[in-house]
Amino acid sequence: MNVENEKCVIIMDDSLPLGVIANTAAVLGITIGMKKPDVIGNDVFDSDDNMHSGIIQFPIPVLKGNRELLKQIRLKLLKYEYSDLIVVDFSDLAQGCKTYDEFIAKMANSSEAELHYLGIAICGNKKKINKLTGNLPLLR
């Protein structure tokens, strides 16, 4: 990943309870790490020679929005001009499933219009991501 020309952001529905926000961010972060393993640095050692696992090599701003804004951004991300971006979404449908098989089955029977997004992670071209998210405030 070219840090100068690419970036990653996470956008969260800030009306959610703190625990749901934390869980959603964890799910999105793990999935981005799987899709972009090159962003994880090598393991490091402290002065006592204890190993610490490598972490992401750059910041990921966590931005805030509301349910409607997340839906609007997700619909924009379906357009061809954004097809080169890595997009990971986490919906209320996914959050309510107890197993991955249940998630697969429920998604197969759900339309885009029925989904309510708790969070979205986006990685790729910095200019495209800034165009979509540049005016969003940080989640604090």
Q: How far apart are CA 70 and CA 65, in angstroms?
A: 7
Q: Is the pLDDT score of 2 beyond 80?
A: no
State yes or no: pLDDT of 39 exceeds 90.
Answer: no
Separation CA 87–CA 118 (nearest Å): 14
pTM above 0.75? yes
What is the third-level CATH fold of 6-133?
A: Bit1 (3.40.1490)
Domain residue spans of the chain: 6-133
**Which residue did the predictor score with more confidence, 38 or 107?**
107
